[in-house]
Structure formats: C-alpha cells, structure tokens
C-alpha cells in the first residue's frame, strides 16, 4: 500500500516545494478554497473561499505586530458608531462617528 499523505520536506530534500494558490481544504478548519502550503501539503492554509477572504490566527499576530492604526471604528448595540483612538499619554479616546450606515 502506498502512503498518499503529504510528507514534510527536510533540509536535504531536493523535491521540497511550496504550494501556492491551489484548491484544497484548510487543515485546521476543513474549509475548502484556494490556499497555500509551506511544507508540501502537510499544512494547507486556505485564504480565499466562496464566502470571502479567510484569515488565520497567525495572520492576526502578523497584522497586530506589523501594522499600527490611528483609530478603529466600533458599533454600539443601538447602531451608533464610535472611533477609538489613543491620546499621547496612552489614554483611550472615544469619538462619536454617527450611526452605522450613515454617510458611508
């Protein structure tokens, strides 16, 4: 019987490869879509699904470590939007931004 499971390449493997934007199933969630694998299919990360872009925890860490934001927009339960920013001394600043859906 032939083992059809993907094998992670080692440093001496001449046939090691990355998979870039191929159809497959996310190994963490099972979601189908277009994705990538850094290790010959052992771990396959789907990034594009029929529902839109799919992000993973490692993406959130990369975004939070490498991007800074001047403000974030949040919606309260009644639909009012607020911008959250930080003052020069590190205190949170909430600024009303109107109702969500208005002036967008």
Domain count, the chain: 2
Same domain, 78 and 93: yes
Q: Please, which residues have CB within 8 angstroms of residue 39's CB and are 6 or more apart in sequence?
A: 6, 8, 9, 18
Same domain, 61 and 80: no
Same domain, 54 and 76: no
Q: What is the pLDDT of residue 51?
A: 95
pLDDT in tens, 55-97: 998 888 888 888 888 889 998 898 889 999 999 999 999 999 8
Same domain, 24 and 53: yes
Q: Is residue 8 one of the residues assigned to a domain?
A: no
Helix (H, G, I), strand (E, B) or coil at 15: coil
6 confidence band (pLDDT: 50, 70, 90): low
Same domain, 38 and 73: no
pLDDT in tens, 17-66: 788 999 999 999 999 999 999 888 889 999 999 999 999 988 888 888 88
Enclosing domain of residue 23:
19-66
Q: What is the pLDDT of residue 69?
A: 84
Average pLDDT of the segment spanning 3-26:
75
Q: Is residue 43 one of the residues assigned to a domain?
A: yes
Same domain, 94 and 58: no
Q: What is the pLDDT of residue 40?
A: 84
Same domain, 89 and 61: no
Q: What is the pLDDT of residue 39?
A: 85
Q: What is the pTM of this model?
A: 0.57
Same domain, 72 and 91: yes
């Amino acid at each position: 019987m032939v083992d059809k499971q993907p094998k992670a390449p080692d440093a001496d493997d001449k046939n090691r490869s990355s998979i870039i934007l191929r159809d497959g199933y996310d190994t963490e969630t099972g979601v189908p879509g277009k994705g990538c694998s850094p290790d010959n299919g052992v771990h396959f990360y789907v990034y594009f699904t029929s529902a839109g872009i799919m992000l993973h925890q490692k993406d959130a860490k990369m975004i939070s470590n490498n991007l800074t934001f001047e403000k974030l927009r949040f919606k309260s339960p009644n639909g009012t939007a607020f911008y959250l920013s930080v003052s020069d001394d590190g205190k949170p600043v909430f600024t009303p931004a109107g109702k969500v859906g208005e002036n967008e």
